[in-house]
Amino acid sequence: MTLLLDPLTLGADTDTDTDTDTATVVARNRLWVAPMCQYSAEDGMPGEWHHVHLAQFASGGAGMVTAEATAVTPDGRISPDDVGLWNDAQRDAWAPIAAAIRRRGAVPAIQLAHAGRKASTWSPLTGRRGAVPHAEGGWPTVAPSAVAFDGFAEPRALDAAGIEEVVAAFAAAARRAVAAGFDVLQVHAAHGYLLHQFLSPLSNRRDDDYGGSLQNRARLLLQVCDAVRDAAPHAVIAVRFSATDWAEGGWDVADTVTVAGWVAARGVTLIDVSSGGLVAHQRITTGPGYQVAFARAVRAGVDVPVSAVGEITDAAQAQSILAAGDADAIMAGREWLRDPHFALRAAGELGADMEWPAQYVRARRR
């Protein structure tokens, strides 16, 4: 059986403590495009680059295409060149992109994000590193505590009103995302950005209801998930976690499994498992599929689909991960950049039948 090319239903009935009926979305296969920042926006607006970039993956057979980290507030952007969804003009710019993905047979998804203390940094496309000075378009950053990421500006610790504003911003962005035509909304709680900063004791030094215990550190994420679910009751809600900080005393796999269970119980119906990004002194051992074991651990602890990501670059490898029961779907990134028709290629490599775009059928057989 070619599990990689089997459909996957997301949002099917699960045991939750909510009264909200979860949406149901069917991905045509389980080889998906992970969110990848393009640093190519002006004033948060996606443009022609984003349209072509994302639509090509749907033409190439992807089951789901996830738009990059999309800031819910202007100060939540990683860089001045990031996309956003904090106003209606951005919503309207995203609409034809989501429609193009859907027309080509893939599920349109978007990652909603706030960079927290890792905001206001130079895009890697500029060749510069570190915080953007205010004189050159930078802005003050926020975080759970006034603890800077190494080499970046010190953030301001969010007060109660600031936390409420963050939750409201995620909800507003969720409403705009659905209005733009996205079926899956991924809450970004990974890679050292704001929600991950609250989760990890390395960045969260608070002594109020949002700090200290695991339950307190997860409080903001749970509130965001509730707000996004309430704002978009007919969308599939996903969460991306960094399963470990790769640093002593930090967030770890056991924490991830526990909190993944909590968000699943509140209506989240897809968990995406990555790792790292919180601290500069992290020590990561990479290699093909180096994060798959984290996905396996989370999958064993939750009753919703789990996707794996991280140096998954060929069809046989992706198929073996699913066949072993380590994940329900594959999020790939760089391999899609190398080959926007990765799924069509994968079908050929696995000897499986897959529908090609009519315009490309002439190239199906050599």
- Give the count of alpha carbons within 13 A of 57, CB side only: 32
Q: What CA–CA distance (Å, rounded) separates 288 from 283?
A: 17
pLDDT of residue 1: 66
Q: Calculate the CA dihedral of residues 93, 99, 104, 107 and round it to 10 degrees.
A: 100
Q: What CA–CA distance (Å, rounded) separates 311 from 79?
A: 25
Q: Calculate the CA dihedral of residues 322, 326, 327, 330 and round it to 10 degrees.
A: -60
Nearest in space to 162 (alpha carbons), one of 206, 201, 99, 98 = 206
pLDDT of residue 14: 46
Q: What CA–CA distance (Å, rounded) separates 40 from 71?
A: 14
pTM listed for this prediction: 0.95
**Tokens 């199906």, residue?**
364
For residues 67 and 94, the answer to whether their CB atoms sit within 8 Å is yes
From the list 193, 210, 290, 360, the catalytic residue is: 193
Summarize pLDDT for 78-127 with one digit per residue, the tens. Answer: 999 999 999 999 999 999 999 999 999 999 999 999 999 999 999 999 99
pLDDT of residue 296: 98
User: What's the chain's length in residues?
Assistant: 366
Q: What CA–CA distance (Å, rounded) separates 143 from 254?
A: 24
Q: How far is CA 253 from CA 206, 301, 321, in A?
A: 22, 11, 19
Q: Is 239 helix (H, G, I), strand (E, B) or coil?
A: strand
User: Does 210 qualify as catalytic in the annotation?
Assistant: no
pLDDT of residue 191: 97
pLDDT mean for each 10 residues of the chain (366 residues): 92 55 86 98 98 98 98 98 98 98 98 98 95 95 97 95 98 98 98 98 98 98 98 97 96 98 97 96 92 98 97 96 98 97 95 92 83
DSSP designation for 340? T
For residues 288 and 313, the answer to whether their CB atoms sit within 8 Å is yes
- Set out the domains of the chain in order of their start, with CATH numbers: 3-363 (3.20.20.70)
pLDDT of residue 15: 46
How large is the angle between the packed helices 48-59 and 88-103, nearest 10 degrees? Answer: 20
| Burial annotation 68-83 (CB, 10 A radius, 16+ → b, else e) | bbbbbbbbbbbbbbbb
Summarize pLDDT for 148-200 with one digit per residue, the tens. Answer: 999 899 999 999 999 999 999 999 999 999 999 999 999 999 999 999 999 99
Q: Is 165 helix (H, G, I), strand (E, B) or coil?
A: helix
